[in-house]
Structure 1
Amino acid sequence: MSDDHGSIFDGLIGGDSSQWAFGTDFEDPLAGVDTTVPEGVAHAELAAYCLMLGDDALIMSQRLSEWCSRAPDLEEDIALANIALDLLGQARLLLARAAAADPGVLPALPEGSPVPAEDALAFFRDAGEFRNVRLAEVPNGDFAHVVVRLLLFSVARLELLERLRASTDTVLAAVAAKGVKELTYHRDWAARWFLTLARGTEESRRRLDTALGALWPLLPELVATHPVELSLARTGVAVAPAAIGAAVDDVLDQVLAVSGVPRPEPGAPDGPAGRHGLHTGHLEPLLADMQVVARAHPGGRW
């Protein structure tokens, strides 16, 4: 992206900083960015793909934000909050891109509601309309659980974004370029804590093994390819997750080896269920908490 336009993340900190809640006058996060859909790319497919990546980040951010004031110490509390904010920034841009590519993805709202597109997608869709992987939505457990979940998620997302920097879609390429720096930190934070817990006490190792056993079966979905991803990969817009499977395994094997943790048995691959709107029973309560204020006051400003 040219220097004339600055960073597409500028909108996150620009404008009137006195209003930081749903229903405010945020500047369009894609203002000044070329949002032209690449030639030969179906608008609906691009929007669907952005929803997949945006929903992953949004739901994972929500789960991480639930750790605020609950981490073992202040430093890790701040680290988890910052990781959640990184993912929220990615989600905002990706959801805005989805709406710009195909306004048809936007949910119906009360007439006259001044709701930005990305807020409409975050707060006014039901669970079956979300396209996030199920790993992001399962409830939080203990600290070992958040470490394992973030490790699996960030390793896969980092491998994806590294390749997505070459996307023929201007917005996706820019989001990926910024996101790679963020996800590198997320992965390294989780890997360091994975090693610490694995080599710590018997109790920390027990908790790590328990978390790994619970979350590992959800890993295959992160490298399963949805037909939309496959179609857009042929155009150079997207990356087929199946293409990163070997790289994801390699990184995880390195972390497991240095930690002295055996690789768990592979989970049964059941396809990209979350991408089809098939979720666990945990997503609806999460959305109820996340969306309650926006739905109660759809035109609210504060």
Structure 2
Amino acid sequence: MTTMPTAAAAHLSYVLRLADNALILGQRNGEWCGQGPALEEDIALANISLDLIGQARLLYSHAAALEEAAGGARKTEDSYAYFRGEREFANYTLAELPHAGPLAGTARAARDYAVTITRNFLYAALMCHLWSALRASADAQLAAIAAKSLKEARYHLQHAGEWLVRFGDGTAESHRRAQAAVDYLMPYTAEFFSADAVETAVATAGIGPLNADLQAAWQQDVAATLAEATLAAPAPVRHVTTGKHGEHSEHMGFLLAEMQSLARQHPGATW
């Protein structure tokens, strides 16, 4: 990537960010397979995970084409998913967090479904606006991926939003857990809207929007659901996490070790 023109490098980096977010959140949601709180939810989370991983595959394939066209090495979706190191992933920190509260040490910590639902809600609320905007991208392939992904994101938002309302406006215990999840995860969403050189370059080229331009609509959607759920948003924070710059939480290494181990043990294997 370092030898590519700046515009091409930014374009590729942007597509990889989208792909990494989908893959890592898909991997997290997939951890509920066989572990869901109810059979219907077990299936729902598996399907949401498959949607996200499907989005990642389309985006990684597109990234491979962009990289090769710009003079880079020939790659596949597996190259990006399984054979990059932790600092090469550019997903939001929010996506990699375990399904538990702030004191969870590893992925083995007890899962809290309220954390999973809240995270999916906050992310899907963003992606509904982002995929919608990307349908007008100057990158025709990215626009096509966005049109398909928007339909899935709308379902993800509906699923998570309905459950967040049930939790928040349910029992005292479900309300407590939902509020704790909102308090825990909302600060991580500041990373959604922190612009940098990559996002500025693709916005200038008409490839993607500035996320900051989507923030007001996202906040309105989140506030409406939180109000219906009788939940309160925490006060804004100044700290902005840096997952999209390759600086991850301590949880990312555990996630990648599990996700990549088989492919790294048997490189080039097919089945």
Decide: shared fold, TM above 0.5.
Answer: yes
1:51 and 2:16 are equivalent in the alignment: yes
Match of 2:105 in 1: none
Alignment check: 8 A CA contact 1:107 1:125 kept: no
Alignment partners' CA distance in 2, 1:138 and 1:237: 29
1:288 and 2:257 are equivalent in the alignment: yes
Match of 2:182 in 1: 212
Q: 1:243 aligns with which of 201, 213, 224?
A: 213
Alignment check: 8 A CA contact 2:33 2:42 kept: yes
Alignment check: 8 A CA contact 2:131 2:150 kept: yes
Alignment partners' CA distance in 1, 2:180 and 2:141: 39
Deviations along 1:242-290, one digit per CA (max 9) or x if unpaired, are: 11110110000100111111221113242x6112111101111100000
Alignment partners' CA distance in 2, 1:186 and 1:175: 16
Query: Do the aligned partners of residues 106 and 193 (structure 1) sit closer, same or farther apart at CA in structure 2, a change above 3 Å counting?
Result: farther
Aligned-CA RMSD value: 2.0
1:102 and 2:67 are equivalent in the alignment: yes
Alignment check: 8 A CA contact 2:139 2:207 kept: yes
Matched ranges for 1:6-17 at <5 A: none
Alignment check: 8 A CA contact 1:41 1:235 kept: no
Query: Do the aligned partners of residues 217 and 104 (structure 1) sit closer, same or farther apart at CA in structure 2, a change above 3 Å counting?
Result: farther
1:130 and 2:89 are equivalent in the alignment: yes
Alignment check: 8 A CA contact 1:55 1:131 kept: yes
Amino acid at match of 1:70: Q
Alignment check: 8 A CA contact 1:99 1:105 kept: no
Alignment check: 8 A CA contact 1:51 1:131 kept: yes
Alignment partners' CA distance in 2, 1:299 and 1:105: 25
Alignment partners' CA distance in 1, 2:124 and 2:71: 28
Q: 2:99 aligns with which of 140, 143, 153?
A: 140
**Where do 4+ consecutive residues of structure 1 move more than 4 Å?**
104-108
Alignment partners' CA distance in 1, 2:238 and 2:47: 33
Matched ranges for 1:111-260 at <5 A: 117-141=76-100, 142-260=112-230
- Give the structure with the higher percent helix: 2
Alignment partners' CA distance in 2, 1:267 and 1:85: 33
| 49-58 or 215-224: bigger deviation | 215-224
Amino acid at match of 1:291: Q
Alignment partners' CA distance in 2, 1:215 and 1:134: 10
Alignment partners' CA distance in 2, 1:254 and 1:106: 47
Alignment gaps of 5+ in structure 2: 101-111
Q: 1:87 aligns with which of 52, 55, 74?
A: 52
Alignment check: 8 A CA contact 2:92 2:191 kept: yes
Match of 1:18 in 2: none
Alignment partners' CA distance in 2, 1:45 and 1:103: 14
Alignment partners' CA distance in 2, 1:266 and 1:237: 30
Amino acid at match of 2:144: A
Q: 1:273 aligns with which of 237, 242, 253?
A: 242
Alignment partners' CA distance in 1, 2:128 and 2:162: 16
Match of 1:32 in 2: none
Query: Do the aligned partners of residues 235 and 107 (structure 1) sit closer, same or farther apart at CA in structure 2, a change above 3 Å counting?
Result: closer
Q: Please identify the structure whose Cα radius of gyration is greater.
A: 1
| 71-80 or 288-297: bigger deviation | 71-80
Alignment check: 8 A CA contact 1:60 1:137 kept: yes
Following superposition, the deviation at residue 227 of structure 1 comes to 1.2
TM-score (norm 2): 0.90
| 51-60 or 97-106: bigger deviation | 97-106
SS at structure 1 position matched to 2:29: helix
Following superposition, the deviation at residue 103 of structure 1 comes to 3.4
| 192-201 or 218-227: bigger deviation | 218-227
Alignment partners' CA distance in 2, 1:102 and 1:234: 20
